[in-house]
Amino acid sequence: MPNKLKNTTLTRRKRYVPDLALDMAECDTNYVRLMRLFPEMHSAPDRTFGVRGQMDDGAVVTISILERCRYTTMVEVQVESDEAQERPWLKWPFIEVRVYHDLQSAEVVRFERHRVAKYRYDVPNQGMYQPDEKSQINRFFGELLTFCLAHGYSMDPIDLGNSPKS
């Protein structure tokens, strides 16, 4: 007769343990990336620029200030693409980020209108979140910022000084 206790022990999954040092390093790096994309964050209301990948027609990224406090800033990151109109299943996520200037860290607090609060979710759960949902979202945000740094371009007009002088 097989040992049932042994079989149930083998089928149990290990509980996810967040790597806080790695997660904080990602948030700290995201702060640096975000400040490179939006250096006037302390004074300007928003920043808009274009990005163009290898296979798409491009997109427009807007980083808007939602709230400014002494040590923190809440920003909203929106990506709009013409492809989304042609392909409605292709949708860029809405991302809200809390930027901690004193800690030099940027953490995603809302992703697609869902507040992401826990570092670990039990599985299964009501929201169908992955155990490491918060880590994955912060990594995704880092990848988006890295893509913007590599493939972004200014949409501001450039004055070349060729206008006739009066």
Q: Containing H/E element for 48?
A: strand 46-51
Residue 129 lies in a domain: yes
Residue 111 lies in a domain: yes
DSSP 8-state secondary structure symbol assigned to residue 78 = E
Give the integer Cα–Cα distance in Å for 29 and 105. 7
Residue 83 lies in a domain: yes
Rg (CA), the chain: 21
Contact 62, 78 (CB under 8 A): yes
Euclidean distance between the first and the last CA atom of the chain, given in angstroms as a whole number:
101
Q: What share of the chain is helix, strand, coil (3-state, %, to 5)?
A: 30, 25, 45
Domain count across the chain: 1
Tokens of 38: 């939006």
Domain holding 35, by residue range, is 16-152
* pLDDT tens for the 166 residues of the chain, in order: 555 555 555 456 677 666 789 989 999 999 999 999 999 999 999 999 999 876 667 889 999 999 999 999 999 999 988 776 677 667 788 999 999 999 999 999 998 867 766 656 566 667 666 667 788 899 999 999 999 999 999 988 877 876 666 5
Quote the pTM value.
Answer: 0.78
